[in-house]
Amino acid sequence: MPFIIKNIADNIATITINRPEALNAMNLEVVGELHQAVNEAIANPTVGAIILTGAGDKSFVAGADIKAMSQMTKAEALKFGRAGHGLLNAIENAPKPVIAAINGFALGGGTEISLACHIRIATDNAIFGQPEVKLGLIPGWGGTQRLIRLIGKGKAVEMIAGGGIIKADEALRIGLVNAVVSPAELMTKAREIATRIVGNGPQAVRIALDCIRSGQDRSLTDGLEYELEAFANLFETAEMQEGTRAFVEKRPPEFRKD
């Protein structure tokens, strides 16, 4: 996997997109390798949270590879688009939280990858944008759909139709990211959040993610019913027994044996 660096420590998988000479721009090969790495982290039962970041100090992902796209036919573009959708759906539907640690440029497909993640932490020099219209394109990896759900229609249209950039402080103000930190603090902050997550009941985290995700596509009434059923189901799990018993016995719960 030349374009991906993987590391697993303390139940946290860190996946680094490693193509710094092209500011981590995504071609079909990078998309495929990243998808495989994400799938492996999802399938690994010792992993409770995933951090996704970019190699180098300049860029998270500077978008889809423009040089590769400039040569694509419509059929190839469809294949490339579908590969990106497959990757981003895998991230969004992951049963464990995926944290984007955004270290610089997150343009086009870079912003879109971060949108599929569950939590976004950015450095104070991070730059977001959907500049596809400047190339005669539109966002092709879910930007027109996920951005509106996160920051609302007005801001999404301004970003996508205007093609301008958004700096980290503005991204924080409009809810595009959860937190902004210095470059030196980025991975510490991401690991701090991941560590808190992996200390919790893995099944509860998975079910909570599922309720939150599926709630976006349901009416409030349906979503509340879905949550209620999921909540009740947890009363039959060993995890819930351990969590509540630990509270009563005034000790930390032991959810993980690994």
Where on the chain is the footprint of ligand DAK (CB under 6 A)?
Answer: 22-23, 25, 62-67, 77, 80-81, 84, 105, 107-109, 131-132, 135, 137, 139-141
Distance, C-alpha 74 to centroid of its chain: 28
User: By C-beta, is 46 or 125 nearer to ligand DAK?
Assistant: 125
Indicate if 132 belongs to the active site: yes
User: By C-beta, is 97 or 139 nearer to ligand DAK?
Assistant: 139
Q: How far is the CB of 44 from ligand DAK (least distance, A)?
A: 28
Q: Return the closest-CA partner of residue 69 out of 26, 131, 11.
A: 26
User: By C-beta, is 66 or 234 nearer to ligand DAK?
Assistant: 66
Using CB positions, name the residue nearest to ligand DAK. Answer: 140
Q: How far is the CB of 93 from ligand DAK (least distance, A)?
A: 19
The structure tokens listed for 113 are 């990858």
Contact criterion met (CB below 8 Å) for 56 and 3: no
3-state SS string for 15-60? EEECCHHHCCCECHHHHHHHHHHHHHHHHCCCCCEEEEEECCCCEE
- Sign of the alpha-carbon dihedral angle for 136, 143, 70, 72: negative
Indicate if 112 belongs to the active site: yes
User: By C-beta, is 76 or 225 nearer to ligand DAK?
Assistant: 76
Residue with tokens 């730059």: 127
- Sign of the alpha-carbon dihedral angle for 76, 77, 82, 83: positive
The one catalytic residue among 21, 76, 132, 242: 132
CA distance 159 to 155: 6
Q: How far is the CB of 245 from ligand DAK (least distance, A)?
A: 49
The one catalytic residue among 112, 158, 236, 239: 112
User: By C-beta, is 62 or 166 nearer to ligand DAK?
Assistant: 62
Q: How far is the CB of 199 from ligand DAK (least distance, A)?
A: 36
Q: How far is the CB of 86 from ligand DAK (least distance, A)?
A: 12
Catalytic amino acids?
112, 132
